[in-house]
Chains A and B, each alone.
Chain A
Amino acid sequence: MRSPRQQFGDGVRIQLPNIAGVTPFGVIAGALTATVMNSAFWSLLITGGVFAGRAQMVAMQLITDGAPLLVVAVAVLVVNLRHLMYGAALAPHFQHLGWRWKALFGILMTDLAYAVTFQHMERMARSEDAPTRHWYFFGACMTNWVAWMIGGAIGALIGGQLPASWGLDFVPTLAFVLALATHAWDRASIVAAVVAGLLSVALAGLPWSLGLFIGALAGLLAGVRAARRAEAA
């Protein structure tokens, strides 16, 4: 069995290449937040404490538009709804843990942490490494958080932005591409992915990343339906 220390190291290593996308995104989010809040201190606190890049960008946009606090909170909740799905998918892996671990992952869970670790978590669940696999997830999460905070601090203090022409916003997308390329595809998965992809593109103009959530949910439901039909046949 791999020790907690080894698992943590594995988690750090698998997430390391993503720093190239996470840190620049942190700079952008930190700089925007420092500008909107007119304070480096509050920018650092929001960037480090909330640790949700998309939600933070949406919140800052709404505050700039003069939206009231309740609207900002609801928008952030909607943007984060996809985490319900990650939470449900990961929950079996953390069921043996106490509430402290679960609360920690309630703070640290991100798209990238899920995308990068999920397949290996599933493999480990059936191996002798199962009891320590939460350390693997923790390592991947912490790498993300440290990279994000370094970017957030630079952004908050300097307030500058990286040139959009570098296309660094595409780095996380490539991590999602890897998760897709190594997925064990079956009919139901293909149906889920096609429906989710088509709808999310069609609804890309909707505010608050609603298109992403509606597309993913519709894809999930279509996939479940396809799986049921295949079983009935």
Chain B
Amino acid sequence: MNPILLVLALLAATFVTRFSMLAIAGRVELPAWSARALRLVLPAVMLALVAPAVFTRAGALNTDPLNPRLWAALLAAGVAWKTRSMTWTMVAGMGVLWAFAALAPAAAP
């Protein structure tokens, strides 16, 4: 594959999705319901990112109650809610993950 064409294609396909909404804002009248919808972007997209990372493994459902990522995410959520700190959230989440790996290597992340 021609690397120049590949880079241009990747750039175009990425830039279009990131730039288009920023570009048309203010020029196109957005419908009234859109303001309400925009406030729901965060919960919808973030949970669509988090849920598969926690509950699936290699594309398959993981219902193991001792799933290290489940407990890491839950404790991190509690710490995040309490501290609102990115650093402490990561310390809590990765701490749980690594504690599982140290105590039960079979359940490693």
Contacts and interface: CB of A to CB of B under 8 A. Distances in A.
Given A99-B23, A106-B18, 4 more contacts: A63-B6, A171-B93, A176-B49, A179-B42
Given A69-B5, A177-B77, A170 B53 contact: yes
B103 interface: no
A56 B12 CA distance: 13
A176 B18 CA distance: 19
A16 B24 CA distance: 31
A125 interface: no
Interface of B: 1-3, 5-7, 9-26, 30, 33-34, 36-56, 59-61, 69, 72-73, 76-78, 80-81, 84, 86-87, 89-90, 93-94, 97-98, 101, 108-109
A76 B13 CA distance: 6
A102 B48 contact: no
A68 B78 CA distance: 46
A220 B37 contact: yes
Contact of B19 (A103, A174, A224): A103
B14 A88 contact: no
Interface string A180-223: 11110100111011111111110011000001110111011001
Interface stretch (A107-115, A145-153, A154-162): A107-115
Interface in A89-114: 89-92, 94-95, 99, 102-103, 105-107, 109, 111
Contact of B33 (A37, A119, A171, A228): A228
Interface centre among B36, B39, B56, B101 (most CB of A within 10 A): B39
B15 A173 contact: no
Given A17-B90, A220-B44, A80 B49 contact: no
Interface centre among B34, B48, B49, B80 (most CB of A within 10 A): B48
A116 B80 CA distance: 12
A80 B18 contact: yes
A17 to B, nearest CB: 4
Contacts of B94: 20, 167, 170-171, 174
| CB-based closest 3 A-B pairs | A106-B19, A87-B21, A167-B109
Contacts of A87: 17-22
B22 A50 contact: no
